[in-house]
């Protein structure tokens, strides 16, 4: 084992959907910095192009494409085209999510279906299409973003939490099905991260501060602090890791955090 290179991704091809901003953007940058050729895909095609351009300007290897993760046919076509063009697909990452924060009893049918369509349906499309390619080539690493909400919930997060728990279980099932064919599948669970998804919380100082104090570090996480988890699980350093969830939550799920007793 060459321990000095176990995290390197040289020669590998990665498809990262949701790479135009936030955690996806940071992850794309990190994958490229560690040697992967990264296909930066996003519904925001111009944003994806910007990120890919930044990567190449910095000496990395990247390309971009506009992609709607909720369009099953488009996802399948994109995955197959990338595999044909490069002769392989080693890493597939699904990062997009949306959230409608409101009590379950107030949810409309349209809101319910929209959150499921993006968070669970979109992830399904990528995992299925990329999983088929990887199973055929006998290797690969599939990653999707779950959340601490897959384990702990607060008012207004019921539907979002259900999709994140579903993402975790879908990956676990996929790990059991594709492991014998050399493909790994894992979830990453962020805590509260400063991204466009959490922008509404920043507008409420009390809400923002409460989330910061839930972390043992007393602050929110940054998108780049998720990138290491992506590189690790994508790399050969994680060659015996599948069907699991890696928490990057600042201790959110480990510590009660409501009261410090007088010890």
Cα separation, 189 vs 160, whole angstroms: 13
Share of the chain above pLDDT 70, in %: 98
User: What is the per-residue pLDDT across 241-262, written as a single tens digit (0 to 9) for each?
Assistant: 999 999 999 999 998 766 666 7
Domain definitions of the chain by residue range: 3-248
Mean pLDDT of all residues in the chain? 95
* For residues 212-232, average pLDDT: 94
Q: Which residues are catalytic?
A: 160
The least confident of 54-58, 77-81, 137-141, 199-203 is: 199-203
pTM for this model (two decimals): 0.94
Share of the chain above pLDDT 90, in %: 86
User: What is the per-residue pLDDT across 172-204, written as a single tens digit (0 to 9) for each?
Assistant: 999 999 999 999 999 999 998 988 777 778 888
Residue 188 forms beta bridges with which residues?
Answer: 145, 246
* For residues 48-54, average pLDDT: 98
Q: Which residues contact 245 (CB under 8 A, 6 or more apart)?
A: 146, 150, 168, 171, 186, 187, 188, 189
In CATH, the architecture of 3-248 is 3-Layer(aba) Sandwich (3.40)
């Amino acid at each position: 084992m060459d321990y000095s290179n176990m995290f390197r991704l040289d020669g590998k091809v990665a498809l990262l959907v949701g790479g135009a901003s936030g955690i996806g953007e940071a992850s794309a940058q990190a994958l490229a910095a560690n040697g992967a050729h990264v296909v930066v895909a996003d519904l925001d095609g111009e944003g994806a192009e910007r990120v890919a351009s930044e990567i190449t300007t910095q000496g990395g290897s990247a390309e971009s494409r506009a992609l709607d993760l909720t369009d099953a046919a488009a996802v399948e076509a994109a995955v197959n085209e990338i595999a044909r063009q490069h002769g392989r697909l080693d890493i597939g990452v699904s990062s997009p999510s949306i959230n409608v924060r409101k009590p379950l009893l107030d949810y409309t049918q349209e809101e319910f279906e929209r959150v499921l369509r993006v968070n669970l349906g979109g992830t399904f499309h990528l995992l299925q299409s990329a999983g088929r390619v990887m199973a055929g080539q006998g290797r690969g690493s599939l990653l999707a973003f779950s959340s601490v909400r897959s384990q702990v919930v607060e008012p207004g997060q019921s539907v979002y939490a259900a999709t994140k728990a579903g993402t975790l279980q879908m990956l676990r099932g996929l790990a059991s099905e594709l492991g014998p064919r050399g493909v790994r599948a894992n979830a990453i669970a962020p805590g509260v991260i400063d991204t466009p998804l959490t922008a509404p919380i920043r507008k409420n100082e009390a809400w923002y501060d409460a989330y910061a104090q839930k972390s043992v570090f007393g602050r929110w996480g940054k998108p780049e602090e998720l990138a290491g988890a992506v590189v690790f699980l994508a790399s050969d350093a994680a060659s015996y890791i599948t069907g699991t969830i890696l928490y990057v939550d600042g201790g959110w799920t480990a510590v009660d955090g409501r009261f410090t007793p007088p010890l």
